[in-house]
Amino acid sequence: MALINLHERGKKIQKKADPMVRIAEAKFPSPFEAGLVYSSPARGTWTIAHTSMLIPGSHQIFVCPSCCLRGVVLSAEEMGAMDRFSMLEFTDDHILRGDLEEMIIEGVSEILCEMDVLPTCVLLYTSCVQHFLNIDLHLVYRTLAEKFREVDFIDCYMLPTMRAHFSPEKMQWRQLYRGVDTSLPRNPGAVNLIGSCYEIDPESEIFDLFRRAGMTVRQLPTVGTYAEYKRMGEAAFNIYFNPIVSYAAEDLAKRLQMTPVYLPAVYETKAILENEKRLADALGLSEPIPDHRALAGEADSALDRASAALRDFDIAIDAAAVTRPVSLAKKLFLHGFRIRVLYADAFSPEEKEDFEYLRVRVPELCILPMTDWRMRAVLRKNPAGGRNILAIGQKAAYFTGTKYFVNLVENGGLYGFRGIIRLAKEMTEGALHPRQPREMISEKALGCKDQCARMRHVPPANAGQA
């Protein structure tokens, strides 16, 4: 009897700890309360230590206490980029002596003077403590710039404690474009694609519009030299696909008078065509613009074929895989897929209409957080109770324990109708070829190691001798 009571008590605790909510009862846009955070072993998303590597010839220097440095130095080591990474550890003694400015200037100077060749730019990361103490960072950067005139210094920030005011990701993307050349005149034939860790697929139909307009297109994942990165400062337009990049786009518009154009990574045919019309208008393309309605039909056909191939599968999607998980869920639902689980801590307000659509038509859809502490104890299985599950995204793959998944992070460079066609293909392949996800999802920053290897062969153009 005592054992039975203990078992029942355990079941009640388990039920109370289960964060799952059905979409019919979920609050929008934040179904879950903020609190203690859990980080799953699905680590393919990029951190600030990884995104900095996108600038050719750059060198990162983190000025932090040892507890903060532990994570970033392991990231640099794991991706084989210790040659582009340095750190300065400050202690209580520096704070008590009040010499943090001198410590940064002397430490950075020593690091650079020991190099055979100076980097083209230094991304100097200060942390929460320096800002709580309100040290004179203007003095630090001014002194370093005078001492190393061949080096561009970009102020960067590792401030997770200030997340309530702005996210580190938003600040990171803004700062990554602070090094572009501000003296160049606007070139109406140049456009930047900003805010993506992955190359936007050149097969995407928006490139048809760029070719029609004769545009030179630059994006961080493909710029080959630091000089080419600097020339991003001539662009007349900045195209971005993720709302968190608006901070960077607004900053560039204010400082360099570049026109920002927001093209969200949506999946509905009408919305994609509206994005193309918005882009064509911004670029000043005269009618007729490229007609992609036939391509939209190809995308729908690709999804129909994938739906037939996956008729025995439930679908789980995580918000780390795509920036519009609800939009994708609706698109897949309309093509006959069984959408069972969404993993997201919160949703973009832009997805409210799609959210309400699914609330009515798929009220049993499970919503689970990605970082809630309770996810540590949630059983790794299909929470909807199905047999087979195809996960779109690493976190969905981890939490469901499935061997069928699409290894996708932050849209993976997919966009538009051709992006949908590629996704449908990858979903089919993911269902046909089961894999052990453990090793694949445990590597930090999916694709960053390859990016670092490419950058290693980029000559440090315009760098002076130390």
For residue 406, give both structure tokens. 């699409």
Backbone angles phi, psi at 116, to 5 degrees: -70, -40
CATH class of the domain at 48-176: alpha beta
Cβ–Cβ < 8 Å for 162, 128: yes
β-bridge partners, 315? 339, 390
Instruction: Determine the topology of domain 187-283 in CATH.
Output: Rossmann fold (3.40.50)
State the Cα–Cα distance between residues 63 and 1, nearest whole angstrom: 59
CB-count exposure of residue 355 (10 Å: 0-12, 13-18, 19+): buried
Q: In what order do the strands lie in the sheet with 405-406?
A: 21-22, 366-368, 338-343, 313-318, 388-392, 405-406
Which pair of structure tokens corresponds to residue 325? 């998980």
pTM beyond 0.75? yes
Alpha-carbon gap, residue 438 to 436, rounded angstroms: 6
Residue 113: burial class (beta carbons within 10 Å; 0-12, 13-18, 19+): exposed
Per residue of the chain (466 residues), what is the pLDDT tens digit? 454 554 555 455 445 578 999 999 999 999 999 888 899 999 999 988 899 999 999 999 999 887 777 778 878 888 778 899 999 988 888 888 888 899 999 999 999 999 999 999 999 999 888 888 888 999 999 999 999 999 999 999 987 776 656 678 899 999 999 999 999 999 999 999 999 999 999 999 999 999 999 999 999 999 989 999 999 999 999 999 999 999 999 999 999 999 999 999 999 999 999 999 999 999 999 877 889 999 999 999 999 999 999 999 999 999 999 999 999 999 999 999 999 999 999 999 999 999 999 999 999 999 999 999 999 988 888 887 777 999 999 999 999 999 999 999 999 999 999 999 999 999 999 999 999 888 889 888 898 888 777 665 555 444 444 4
d(CA 297, CA 304): 11
pLDDT score of 455: 65
**pLDDT for residue 163:** 61
Sign for the pseudo-dihedral over CA of 229, 163, 447, 320: negative
Give CA–CA dist 254/41, Å, rounded: 39
- Of 380, 368, 392, 395, nearest to 31 (Cα)? 368
Position 119 scores a pLDDT of 95
Query: Can you give the C-alpha Rg of the chain in angstroms?
Result: 24
CATH topology classification for 299-442: Rossmann fold (3.40.50)
Question: Which part of the chain is CATH 3.40.50.1980?
Answer: 48-176, 187-283
